Amino acid sequence: MSEILDGLEFADLAAGHDAVLEELTLTLVREADLPDDWLATTVDCYTTEADYYELAQYRHIGPLKARIDEFAADHVATTSAGAVFDVGVGDGHRLARICGLVAERCGRRPEMYGVELSSRMIERARARGIHVYQQDMRLGVPDVERELDGVLFLSGDLGFVMDSLVGPTLRRQALDSAYERLRAGGCVILELVSRDPRAAEGGADVFYFSRVPRVDSDEDEGRAITGPQTWQYIKTFSRAEAVALIEASRFSLADASISYVVRNSADAERVGLHVADNEITADESYRLLISLKK
């Protein structure tokens, strides 16, 4: 393990916005060297964070997430918008929000489905009317007995499809299972954690990080709640790796759109903006945002 960015303040993610953000401690490991308990560690993290996950998401990195949700809704709204599946649905707030945006665009609110391992997150997602399967996403998208119009891997969630022996093949299988479940004309949205160029040494590609979320609970008094420290593993992707994954899958690269959502921009107006490769500097990259079409 190489300690690369100790105590990185993610406050810069929302430069120009007044949100309080999380503190991060980050190390980088190779997928091949993952410890046996990496998945349990990761799911425990989300169980611990369940109570304030939604608040933390929208108070902390709201401008970024809002752009991504609109991108997802724009694509889903071009389908027949009957059913959307979120892989690693968490508490379901983003799936519900995206489906609301889809309804605004095309007048049809999709039925919502998801897969998730954490029981605490599942309770919350079900309360939002989402049909949730308690299953490991690494087994692929389950059969919901109807064709899907959209399959979402938000918040870097394809990065939880890891195995120290199988590696990229498992992610290709996950994409192909999404292809299998989609109606012709349906789409996949991938929000991938893009690899920070400062960290791209020695083939290490998995972030192991702790975060301490801080949430403004009371805007009038300006009080902040600090959440417990949690730890998780997530795989990051370079653009070339994402392209290779799509090429190996049943989706066509020619029908794909691939761009970045930026962070760290000196120009606050650009934070969260969905930009093309030629408009980005390495330090700005944060998420790769991809749409695929069946």
Query: Which residues are at the interface with ligand SAM (CB under 6 A)?
Result: 39, 42-43, 46, 57, 86, 88-90, 94, 115-118, 121, 136-138, 154-155, 157, 160
Compute CA 259 distance to the chain's CA centroid, rounded to the nearest angstrom. Answer: 15
Smallest separation (angstroms) from ligand SAM to the CB of 292: 17
Nearest-approach distance from CB 263 to ligand SAM, in angstroms: 17
Question: Could you tell me the smallest distance in angstroms from the CB atom of residue 192 to ligand SAM?
Answer: 12
Whose CA is closest to 31, among 200, 168, 231, 138?
A: 168
User: Measuring CA to CA, which residue among 86, 178, 175, 99 is closest to residue 132?
Assistant: 86
Helix (H/G/I), strand (E/B), else coil: 113? strand
Cβ nearer to ligand SAM, comparing 62 with 283: 62
Tokens 């199988």 — which residue? 166
Select 27 or 47, whichever has its Cβ closest to ligand SAM: 47
What 3-state DSSP class applies to 49? helix
Which residues neighbour 272 within 8 Å (Cβ) at sequence distance 6 or greater? 63, 64, 66, 67, 261, 262
**Closest distance of CB 88 from ligand SAM, Å:** 3
Q: Which is nearer to ligand SAM, 46 or 251 (CB)?
A: 46
CB of 53 to ligand SAM, least distance (A): 7
Least separation, in Å, of the C-beta of 122 and ligand SAM?
9
Shortest distance (Å) from residue 267 CB to ligand SAM: 26
Q: How far apart (Å, rounded) are the C-alpha atoms in residues 258 and 291?
A: 7
What CA–CA distance (Å, rounded) separates 49 from 227? Answer: 8
- Nearest Cα neighbor of 50 from 77, 6, 89, 85 is 89
Closest to 276 (Cα-Cα) out of 237, 236, 239? 239
Q: How far is the CB of 94 from ligand SAM (least distance, A)?
A: 4
Q: Which is nearer to ligand SAM, 53 or 260 (CB)?
A: 53
Q: Which is nearer to ligand SAM, 232 or 285 (CB)?
A: 232
Q: Which amino acid does the sequence have at 184?
A: A
| Complex with ligand SAM: residue 64 or 137, whichever CB lies closer | 137
> How far apart are alpha carbons 83 and 189 in whole angstroms?
14
Nearer to ligand SAM, 120 or 283 (CB): 120
Q: Which of 263, 252, 248, 264 is nearest to 290 (CA)?
A: 252
Measured from the CB atom, is 40 or 282 closer to ligand SAM? Answer: 40
First to last CA, the chain: 39
Judged on CB neighbours under 10 Å (0-12, 13-18, 19+), 3 is: exposed
Residue found by looking up tokens 């959440």 in the block: 227
